[in-house]
Structures are given as structure tokens and as C-alpha cells.
Amino acid sequence: MNNKIVISLLSTIAFTLCSLTALARPEYVAPTGATGCTDCHYNNSGSGYKTGVITAFYSSSSRIAGLTSFIKALNAPVQAADTSPVLHPINNKWDVTVGELPLVISLQVTDAENDAFALHGSAPSGVTISKVYTKNNLPTIDLSWLPSATDANKVSPLQVYVTETATGRSLSSNTVQATIQVWPARTTTTNLVTRFSMESAQWQNNVLTLNGQLAFKNTLTVKQRNAALKTLKLNAKSNFGKVIVNATSLTLDANGSWVKKIPLSATQVPCAVRLTYEGLRAARPVSLAPVATCVK
């Protein structure tokens, strides 16, 4: 007996064993969507059944239907693991002035699977939402709000989160919250500054450190901006009007950021600080201010 005859004989025996096994019949392959004996057995000789085959076979009056369900589940694509999207933190307090540029709050999302998402939550009436775009390599949505005169001197809450919208995806992110202080329209004779903000206020080692952003009108020359910085002054008071600092100048870096350091003792530092600069205003609680002695 040569090698070809041996191989042929072995193939015939394997096929015969497989075809004569109670469940492993050739006529089951096509109707169930199976690719061969090994979909249900451990090898082509038809020995042993994979877990769940017998149960599937007898689970329906139509044996083919039971096996078909088993084969379909066996060959179903594995769904990739899904993780919840993460909504990045934002400042918990914002300021906006009636009649000025809209307040813009950028929301950024991280998702391991880069799933599409939609924004949900509550925001002041009139807030608009941009389309998703990329900023610093992250999906971003901008919230924009231009309050009216009726919103002046009010504090509006903001609470938002995102939810996945891709097929088979439904996880939601964490929720971020903030409050927006609306200030009345300014009444200054000049309007050189288009945006003034305070990002944080912190007291440490007997120094109150304030920092924020400032932007001038685009039409001003460098010389005019430098002149304005010498003329315009920052004023700071406590919540109840105690003067913290009067008529101090600001210095900007190339990005329009400013920092002001004010030496203050534990009995001088305010619990919260209110700033004015060319009629624009901002307010923040002072982080680390001593509750027992800070100025109200």
C-alpha cells in the first residue's frame, strides 16, 4: 500500500466516523452555517462534543434550528470592550457681562474607543452648542452664551455630561458642574478691553495670588495696548466691599495671561474676592483662605 492509498483510506475513515456520529452529519453543515465537523466536535473524526452542542441540538423541535443558533453564536464577531467616555474638568465658576462678547466654555472628551457622543444636561436659556471639532487632539464641544439685560446680577447653573451614540454603545460620562455669574453692562467711557477673566484666587504663605486672562480690541496697536495697560487699573474688594487693593496695574504675557500677587495676612485676606477692570467684573472664592479670620 503506497502513501497515497494510506492518506485516502484515513480520510475516508475520518469522514465516515464524522458522518455516522449521531449529530455530525454532512447534511447538517450547510443548513446550520457550519464549516465542518470541528464547529461542533473537537476534531474531524467527530469525537466529543463542544460545550453546549447537545443542549442546542435538543433545545428545539427542529434540530437544525437549535444547531443553527449554536453555530451563529459561535461565529458571532466578538464585541470590543467598551469604556465610559470621560468629560474633562472645567472651572467651576465663570463670569460674563451683558453686552460684551459671549462666554465660551470648551468641553473636551476622552474615550478609549473614540465613540461618537452627544451632549446632555442643563444650561442657561439661550446657550448654543457647537459641532464636535478637534482641539489639542481631543474631541471638543463649545458652549456659547450671550446673556440679556434680564439675566444681569443672576447666577445660572450649568450641569452637563455626554453619552455614547455609536451602535451598541450607550455608556455615559461623568458630570461636570459650574455656575455662571452674569454682570450688568459696563458704563465706562472707554471700551478697550474685550475680555477680562479671573481663573483662580488662592491665599498661601501670606500672599493672595490672582490670575486670569485679558484681551484687547483687535484694532489696537501694540503701542496703544501698552499705553492702556499703564492707564487701566485693577481694583479688588471682598464680598461685602472691603478694599483689598486699589488701582494696581496688570502685566500680560504673550498669551494674554496676567498674575497679581498681593501680600496679605490671615486677618486681611478676603474669603472671596471681587475684581473690576475697565468696568468688567469677576468674582471667585479665595482658596485656602482661613475661614475663621478671612474678611467677609
Return the CATH number at 260: 2.60.40
240 within domain boundaries: yes
Query: Which candidate, 232, 234, 293, 284, places its Cα nearest to that of 261?
Result: 234
Query: Which candidate, 226, 224, 248, 222, places its Cα nearest to that of 235?
Result: 248
Cell of residue 126, nine digits = 439661550
Is the distance from CB of 164 to CB of 111 less than 8 angstroms?
A: yes
Which of 75, 96, 117 is where one domain is finished? 75
- Residue 209's DSSP bridge partners are 202, 261
227 within domain boundaries: yes
32 within domain boundaries: yes
90 and 173 together in one domain: yes
Structural domain total, the chain: 3
120 and 64 together in one domain: no
CATH number of residue 168's parent domain:
2.60.40.10
pLDDT computed for residue 156 by the predictor: 97
**pLDDT tens by residue, the chain, 296 residues:** 454 444 343 344 334 434 444 445 666 677 777 777 777 777 776 667 777 777 777 776 677 787 777 777 777 665 668 899 999 999 999 999 999 999 999 999 999 999 999 999 999 999 999 999 999 999 999 999 999 999 999 999 999 999 999 888 899 999 999 999 999 999 999 999 999 999 999 999 999 999 999 999 999 999 999 999 999 999 999 999 999 999 999 999 999 999 999 999 999 999 999 999 999 999 999 999 999 999 99
pLDDT computed for residue 57 by the predictor: 73
58 and 91 together in one domain: no
Domain that holds residue 278: 193-285
Which of 122, 152, 183 is where one domain is finished? 183
98 and 20 together in one domain: no
292 within domain boundaries: no
137 and 106 together in one domain: yes
- In whole angstroms, what is the distance from residue 115 CA to residue 172 CA? 11
Query: Which parts of the chain fold into alpha helices (H)?
Result: 3-20, 26-32, 53-57, 63-75, 222-231
Please, is 187 exposed, middle or buried when counting C-beta atoms within 10 Å of its C-beta (0-12, 13-18, 19+)?
Answer: exposed
91 and 172 together in one domain: yes
71 within domain boundaries: yes
11 and 49 together in one domain: yes
217 and 251 together in one domain: yes
10 within domain boundaries: yes
H helix or E strand, kind and range, residue 71: helix 63-75
| Amino acid of residue 107 | L
211 and 274 together in one domain: yes
21 and 51 together in one domain: yes
153 and 177 together in one domain: yes
296 within domain boundaries: no
b/e for 62-75, b at 16 or more Cβ within 10 A?
A: ebeebbbebbeeee
pLDDT computed for residue 21 by the predictor: 45
Which of 128, 159, 183 is where one domain is finished? 183
H helix or E strand, kind and range, residue 285: strand 280-285
Is the distance from CB of 174 to CB of 161 less than 8 angstroms?
A: yes
14 within domain boundaries: yes
101 and 174 together in one domain: yes
- In whole angstroms, what is the distance from residue 234 CA to residue 93 CA? 20
Residue 22 has a CB neighbour count (10 Å cut-off) of 9
